[in-house]
Amino acid sequence: MKRLTKETVIGFIGTGVMGKSMAGHILEAGFPLVIYNRTKHKASELIDRGAKWADTPKELAEASDLVITIVGYPSDVEELYLGKDGILHHLRQGSVAIDMTTSSPTLADTIFTIGKEKGVSTLDAPVSGGDIGAKEARLSIMVGGEENTFNLAKPLLELLGTNVVYQGKPGAGQHTKMCNQITIASNMMGVSEALLYAKKSGLNPENVLKSITSGAAGSWSLSNLVPRMIEQDYAPGFYVKHFIKDLKIALHSAKEMELRTPGLELALSLYEQLAAEGEENSGTQALIKLLEA
């Protein structure tokens, strides 16, 4: 694919919490959209708006010029791309595949290599911003792969995010996302402890937020997730189970580089405890429930 036009058929796999909104932005921009999801009813709204349904990833790949995927786990990515009926076996030469799942940097490099052999260009482009960022098209998108492929796909990615940055070679997008998740991991412990401290000391949590969100303590989690904690809203913008997956990938990569990450290790242990108490399908802000118990 030499350039992106409004005739370029976009395939989108994974219409979950974030993917549904992301695919919707592509549809609104006027691109022909083909979608697939393991659970069809989660794609019904997009189908009603004009997206075409594919019964299998293979069917979607054969019908698309550029495919975007955002699924759950590295094992899902591996099966989706490299399995018996994986999309790399069915995409036409010259097409592009962009995996926006948070996954393994090593797997991203493997997918790039096999794609190259088959004449398919690939990018690893994980995102940050949660359900809010996906709905408002304000995601931060971190991209690894060949720069000419990035330049070709950038206009499409800019429909989904306001901060689209090329990070370098294949796998670089995933490594950047690990930096993001390591930062969030310790920050989530901090904002949870701060809110509990505010409550215990008799402060009004909303007033505390007014003071600290615009100061040195300010962060996305503080501004967007602490209000949910105050309201005891633990619906998932990002699932605990998926955060655990991300933290395990980050910890594995850090150990391979012989890097000490005590904050990451503590956060992972706390989130695993939280999941063991039945909160794996809650949002990451549910960490406060474990600390206040």
Domain boundary among 102, 134, 169: 169
What average pLDDT score do residues 3-9 get?
94
Q: Among 123, 143, 169, which residue terminates a domain?
A: 169
The domain that holds 73 is classified in CATH as 3.40.50.720
Residues 145 and 42 in one domain: yes
Cβ–Cβ contacts within 10 Å for residue 72, how many?
A: 17
Domain shared by 121 and 156, yes or no: yes
- Considering the domain architecture, whether residues 118 and 49 belong to the same structural domain is answered as yes
pLDDT tens figures, 7-42: 999 999 999 889 999 999 999 999 999 999 999 999
134 with 263, same domain?
no
Could you tell me the residue range of the domain that residue 105 belongs to?
Answer: 10-169
Q: What pLDDT is stored for residue 130 in this prediction?
A: 84
- 24/123 same-domain check: yes
78 inside domain: yes
d(CA 10, CA 159) in angstroms, rounded, equals 13
Q: State how far the Cα of 174 lies from the Cα of 108, in Å rounded to an integer.
A: 8
Q: Are residues 129 and 255 in the same domain?
A: no
Domain-located, residue 97 = yes
Q: What is the pLDDT of residues 94-120, one digit of tens each?
A: 999 999 999 999 999 999 999 999 999
Q: What is the mean pLDDT of residues 165-172?
A: 98
Residue 1: pLDDT above 80?
no
| Domain-terminating residue out of 169, 186, 208 | 169
- pLDDT for res 266: 98
CATH number for 263: 1.10.1040.10
Closest CA to 235 of 278, 185, 286, 187: 286
| In a shared domain, residues 140 and 233 | no
Asked if 95 and 77 sit in the same domain, the reply is yes
**Half-sphere CA count of 44, side-chain side, radius 13 A:** 4
Q: Does residue 60 sit in the same domain as residue 165?
A: yes
Mean pLDDT of 203-208: 97
pLDDT at residue 22 in the model = 97
Amino acid 172: pLDDT: 98
Q: What is the pLDDT of residues 140-150, one digit of tens each?
A: 999 999 999 99
- In this model, does residue 293 exceed pLDDT 90? no
Establish if 77 belongs to a structural domain.
Answer: yes
Q: How far apart are CA 69 and CA 126, in angstroms?
A: 10
Predicted confidence at residue 171, as pLDDT, reads 97
Q: How many domains is the chain partitioned into structurally? A: 2
> Residue 193: inside a domain, yes or no?
yes
Average confidence (pLDDT) over 69-88: 95
Element (H, E) at 63: helix 57-63
Catalytic residue chosen out of the listed positions 20, 135, 177, 245: 177
Domain-located, residue 81: yes
Would you say residue 5 lies in a domain?
no
pLDDT at 17: 84
The two structure tokens encoding residue 48: 């009603």
Unique residue bearing structure tokens 């990070």: 167
Work out the number of other CB atoms within 10 angstroms of the CB of residue 263: 15
**Sequence-ordered list of residues with C-beta below 8 angstroms from that of 170, at least 6 positions apart, any chain:** 108, 109, 111, 112, 113, 122, 124, 144, 145, 146
Whether 58 is catalytic: no
